[in-house]
Structure 1
């Protein structure tokens, strides 16, 4: 199983909306590196749901429910989407400030490539961030 971090502005699509929907298509990724990360995802992989711009915090964990397919919102047909389902909310949301303050996370993609909307998370980082969020890895 691989781990990921996926960002969404809460005013566009929030964690609470995903929970209410039960499953949704993750669309709108227009960065090639982020799109390649979507292509690498497998059913059963886990991803942190990160509220970007407003909040700037990890708020939950999702599971990849369907692998990459053409993004229905992309008129160029170059980009892909995946489907996700919510698994659990963070007991304690993990803020960007908390991530940056932890020296063990200095190489974490959220710190190194802060503008990347879909990024891999290493096993050790996943375990640390789950602990910080108060959830089981």
Structure 2
């Protein structure tokens, strides 16, 4: 399994939109070649942080986790494509970009190094650290004891 971070402007597609859509969506509209290359590397079952970007620093944060349910496929001409994702759970605490940048161990993470890239790989050690910072993730409607929260969800 690999880990990723997918950025979206909340005005374009938010976590609330993702949940309201039955939790399944087509992740498309990515034009940057490096970001497309990252999407083409995604496999079914990979997990992705759902990240709200935005013009104001307070908006920039990890809000949830989605799972790749259909790897890259063409969506028309000119090399356009998409992956399909399904919601896995909301972060128990959002993880702000400010907090990521303040952590010295995150200096080489692509979110910090290449802030304009909309799809980035997340090394497993960084994934676990970000999960910890966010208190894990999951569906609050599920009956789950504190010991199992997050761990069953890939954190």
- TM class, shorter-chain normalised? over 0.9
The SS at the match of 2:116 is coil
In 2, distance between residues paired with 1:23 and 1:11?
18
Find out whether 1:59 has 2:73 as its counterpart. Answer: no
**CA RMSD across the alignment:** 1.0
Find out whether 1:78 has 2:79 as its counterpart. Answer: yes
Find out whether 1:7 has 2:7 as its counterpart. Answer: yes
- What's the CA shift for 1:119? 0.4
Q: Which runs of 5+ in 1 are unaligned?
A: none
Q: TM-score if structure 1 supplies the norm length?
A: 0.95
The SS at the match of 1:43 is coil
Cα deviation, 1:74-121, whole Å, max 9, x if unaligned, reads xx4312200000001011100010000001111111000000000000
Answer with 1 or 2: which has the greater Rg.
Answer: 2
- What's the CA shift for 1:19? 1.0
What is the aligned partner in structure 1 of residue 146 from structure 2? none
Larger RCO, structures 1/2 (Cα 8 Å, 6+ apart): 1
- What's the CA shift for 1:58? 0.2
Q: TM-score if structure 2 supplies the norm length?
A: 0.84
What is the aligned partner in structure 1 of residue 102 from structure 2? 101
What is the aligned partner in structure 1 of residue 123 from structure 2? 122
Q: Give aligned pairs, total.
A: 134
After superposing on structure 2, the runs of 4+ consecutive aligned residues of structure 1 that deviate more than 3 Å are: none
